[in-house]
Amino acid sequence: MTSSDADIVAAWNNISDGINRYFSIFIFLFGIIGNILNILVLSQRSLRINPCSLFFLISSIANLIAILSGLTTRMLSGWALDLTNTIDWLCKFRAFILFLSRNIASWLILLAAIDRWFLSSLNVHR
């Protein structure tokens, strides 16, 4: 590897670190605010009787858990404070919670779409 290749690799690493540091904060703030607003709106008594809004409410809670479990460690790793690099069980637990909550959120949105499709169908038996 020549010195110009090493400089290019170092530049790409610096760009990646900057994206992980600053863009993660942007996603974190807007994700937390958006999901909390969704939870506040969808948890109102008048909307809780609708199964679709219940799917979206639980999906917003799962997305909030995914952001908190996945993005906080990504932000902290930009400043070399990531404990999941040194504690194995914490890394596995974080990955489990992250993937579980993301999958639950995705499946709940799919179920809400299926619910809306059944309700809008011309066939009464659906």
Tens of pLDDT, residue by residue over 5-32, are: 888 988 898 888 788 778 888 999 999 9
- The separation between CA 93 and the C-alpha centre of its own chain, rounded to angstroms, equals 16
Count of structural domains within the chain: 1
Instruction: Catalogue the E-assigned strands of the chain.
Output: none
User: Does residue 125 lie in a domain region?
Assistant: no
Structural domain of 51: 3-119
User: Does residue 105 lie in a domain region?
Assistant: yes
User: Does residue 57 lie in a domain region?
Assistant: yes
Local confidence band at 1 (pLDDT 50, 70, 90 cut-offs): low
Residues in the chain: 126
User: Does residue 115 lie in a domain region?
Assistant: yes
pLDDT in tens, 51-103: 899 999 999 999 999 999 988 877 777 666 666 677 788 888 888 999 999 99
Classify residue 20 by burial, with Cβ atoms within 10 Å: 0-12, 13-18, 19+: middle
In the block, which residue shows the tokens 């958006």?
A: 34
Distance CA 4, CA 60 (A): 46
User: Does residue 9 lie in a domain region?
Assistant: yes
Local confidence band at 126 (pLDDT 50, 70, 90 cut-offs): low
Distance CA 105, CA 120 (A): 23
